[in-house]
Each structure stands twice: as C-alpha cells, then as structure tokens.
Amino acid sequence: KAGVTQTPRYLIKTRGQQVTLSCSPISGHRSVSWYQQTPGQGLQFLFEYFSETQRNKGNFPGRFSGRQFSNSRSEMNVSTLELGDSALYLCASRGWGSRTDTQYFGPGTRLTVL
C-alpha cells in the first residue's frame, strides 16, 4: 500500500507571496492533518480535515488555510508569506474509528521564505 505523498518536496518563495501544498493520503484514509515543524517550536498542529470538512484547528493565523477534496486529497495554502513561515510542513492521514486511527506521516514539504 502506498504511503502518504506530498508535493512539492521543496519550495522557495519570497515574502508576500502565497503557496499551496498538496497531500495525498493512504488509500482508504479519509482524514488528513497538517503540521508545521520549525527548530524553535517543534511540531505544531495546523488543522485536520475529514470528509471535506475541517474538524479541528490549531492556533495559527487565518493566513493558513486548507481544504479537502472528495477523493480525500488535501491542500493547504499560506497567503502573504512571512520569513517565519519557513518550515517543514507535514501531512498525516488516518482511518476513522478507535482501532484504525493511527496517523501516518508523509515526507514533508520544505518551504523556504526569502
């Protein structure tokens, strides 16, 4: 079974631009979560989508948004990029239900904001 895939793997943007990252979950998984990892703050939860609806949200500004499509693929968007948005962005997928909900992570997208 293929794992979680994320595209692109690396991205360089300049301040003020916007960026869209993509995540394809493991086949059959309907939940997708996004995390930001920086050296200073560690891994922080951004939001989770299930059945095209945002179910949970972390403490990030409104510049960070996401969506999920009917095939469970998800995208996250960051508008008006700031230098501090440079980070590894991770996507994780899981099944739904107490016995199938281990989260599996993708390789991440490394975003550099100049």
Partner 1 sequence: DAKTTQPPSMDCAEGRAANLPCNHSTISGNEYVYWYRQIHSQGPQYIIHGLKNNETNEMASLIITEDRKSSTLILPHATLRDTAVYYCIVRVAGTGGGADGLTFGKGTHLIIQP
The residues of the shown chain that bind partner 1, judged by CB under 8 A, are 4, 31, 33, 35, 42-43, 45-46, 48, 56-58, 88, 90, 92, 94, 97-99, 101-108, 110
Q: Tell me the closest approach of the beta carbon of residue 60 to partner 1, in angstroms.
A: 11
In the 8-state DSSP scheme, what is residue 59? S
Rounded CA-CA distance 114/112 in Å is: 6
Minimum separation from the CB atom of position 16 to partner 1 (A): 26
Nearer to partner 1 among residue 42 and residue 62 (C-beta): 42
Closer to partner 1 by CB, 55 or 63: give it.
55
Which of 77, 73, 87, 82 lies closest to 19, judged by CA?
77
Say how far residue 39 (Cα) sits from the centre of its chain: 17
Task: Tokens for 65, please give them.
Answer: 């948004």
Least Å distance, CB 11 to partner 1, is 14
Distance in Å, CB of 100 to partner 1, minimum: 9
d(CA 79, CA 88): 16
- For partner 1, give the closer residue by CB, 8 or 16: 8
CA angle 4, 10, 16 (to 5 degrees): 115
